[in-house]
Amino acid sequence: MATGNERELGSGSNTSMNTQSDMSMTEFMKQSMMMFGENKQGKVKEPNTYGGARDALMIDGWIRALERYSTFYEWSTERTCLFATTLLRERADAWFRTLEAINEAPTTWLEFKQLLIDFFRPDNANRIARDKLAKLKQTGNLVDYINTFMDIKLAIPIMTDEEATDKFVRGLMQKGM
């Protein structure tokens, strides 16, 4: 009798149907994903390059994309760091070359990530986002206002729904204007 990992998930096969009836859909999906991961047949979109923009949302998004990518491929922290350096462009690449030149280049992902955040992420990113939100006023259509509001709000990690609603309503265009 085949174990869970030895079962083949061929389309239309009896084994597949038996597997599905032997376990819950959740268990089946977990097992399928484990086999998918073990076979490495799947591919994940490679993260974008990073050019050194001092934008908190961009940096945080790039880091998250890299971490998801390296987790999918089960890379070591050293390999993740090495891969990340291949995605650096322009200002970010110049920054890393400087670290290499003075023999202070990081070798692990955690070291790399911390140095990148310390150098490129604005210290006052939260304050900048809050200032933008305070100044935001609807001047055109509502959809544009909502999209701009949500983009800014994403840069503020800790904001209650009550505070967000208050800021949103205060920025709405007054009727009759």
Sequence ranges of the domains in the chain: 56-120, 125-171
Tokens describing residue 12 = 């239309």
Supply the pLDDT for residue 41. Answer: 59
Supply the pLDDT for residue 29. Answer: 62
What is the band of 4 on the pLDDT scale with cuts at 50, 70, 90? very low
Give residue 20's identity as a one-letter amino acid code: Q
Give the tens place of pLDDT for each residue, 6-36: 434 444 444 444 444 455 767 766 666 565 5
Contact 31, 8 (CB under 8 A): no
The pTM of the full predicted model, rounded to 2 decimals, is 0.62
- Coil, helix or strand at residue 50: strand
Average pLDDT across the chain, whole number: 84
Q: Which residues contact 161 (CB under 8 A, 6 or more apart)?
A: none
Supply the pLDDT for residue 173. Answer: 86
Judged against a pLDDT cut of 70, whether residue 67 lies above it is answered with: yes
Contact 75, 46 (CB under 8 A): no
* CA-based nearest residue to 15, from 29, 30, 27, 3: 3
Give the tens place of pLDDT for each residue, 89-143: 999 999 999 999 999 999 999 999 999 999 999 888 889 899 999 999 999 999 9
Query: Look-up: residue for tokens 């998004």?
Result: 61
What is the band of 177 on the pLDDT scale with cuts at 50, 70, 90? low
Q: Where are the alpha helices (DSSP H) in the chain?
A: 14-22, 25-39, 56-72, 77-86, 90-101, 109-120, 125-135, 142-154, 161-171
